[in-house]
Amino acid sequence: QKNFAQRRDLTGKKILVTAGGTQEPIDPVRYVGNRSSGKMGFAVAAAAALRGAEVVLIHANTHLPIPTGVTAVAVSTADEMLRAVLDYCSHSDVVIKAAAVADYKPARQADSKMKKEINNLALTLVPTTDILAELGKRKGKQILVGFAAETDDLLANAKKKIQRKNLDLIVANDVSRTDIGFATNENQVTFLYADGRQETLAKMNKNLVAQEIMDRVIDIIAARYP
Ligand code: CTP
Ligand code: CA
């Protein structure tokens, strides 16, 4: 059994983690959302803090306790998450984006509760900013880790995201499986690297997946700052 907490191997590193799922308001009482619980991102933040990193956790619509030693920033929408990430990212050595960010938001938000007066209601959605792609455009020595949530062609789709967002590592998981992923305590992931390497892990508790992610981040840091 590895004892990660004894290894303070992230001391002095600043790590930004995002978690949860954004909600995009339709009117004052309704939103467009997704099924992310935030468990994976919270596990990553806790693992990084246990190993000595200075951690900022930007979380959207979660109901989980803030891990010890972590600075938490609560947001709700994709736009709020973008602003918070841009505020904190320049101070971060590593950014790990576990959050499920809405890809679209309602074009308009009604000021008062919409009434059920009509038979068919069409909601016009417009794209949000891809936060990770923005970070990818401006990254220098920073290490960028993304997640890929897929129901089909997991590895092929995840590979495209590494290139498109200029990532160092992507953590790919199959969200069509009900035994892992959303709201569960387990995950089964494949790590894909910018240089094409890939590594599939066994199914395990999200806290252990988080420790495995931090191990890979440490390897990338070691390679970048020899
Ligand atoms: N992401 C982000 N900003 C967005 C959408 C996604 O930062 N507006 C990040 C997520 O936090 C995740 C990664 O991009 O780390 C991949 O998210 P995912 O939804 O799997 O991929 P998308 O690029 O949004 O593509 P699609 O949903 O079409 O598969
Ligand atoms: Ca998406």
Tokens of 96: 């790990």
Q: State yes or no: is 34 an active-site residue.
A: yes
Question: 17, 97, 105: which to mutate for ligand 1, most atoms within 8 A of CB?
Answer: 97
Residue 165 among known ligand-binding residues: yes
Cα–Cα dist 99/196, whole Å: 24
| pTM score above 0.80 | yes
Q: Which of 175, 178, 169, 185 is nearest to 223 (CA)?
A: 169
Give the angle 44-48-181 at the CA atoms, nearest 5°: 10
Cβ 148 vs Cβ 157: under 8 Å: yes
Ligand 1 binding residues, C-beta < 6 A = 78, 97, 99, 101, 103, 128, 130-132, 146-149, 161
CB contact set of 101 (below 8 Å; sequence gap of 6+): 18, 21, 22, 78, 81, 128, 130, 131
Give the angle 175-177-183 at the CA atoms, nearest 5°: 65
* Cα first-last separation, the chain: 29
Kindly name the residue from 34, 61, 173, 187 that is annotated as catalytic.
34
Residue 113 among known ligand-binding residues: yes
Cα–Cα dist 69/110, whole Å: 39
Asked whether this complex has an ipTM greater than 0.95, the answer is yes
pLDDT tens, the chain, 226 aa long: 466 656 899 999 999 999 999 999 999 999 999 999 999 999 999 999 999 999 999 999 999 999 999 999 999 999 999 999 999 999 999 999 999 999 999 999 999 999 998 888 899 999 999 999 999 999 988 999 999 999 999 999 999 999 999 999 999 999 888 888 777 899 999 999 999 999 999 999 999 999 999 999 999 999 988 8
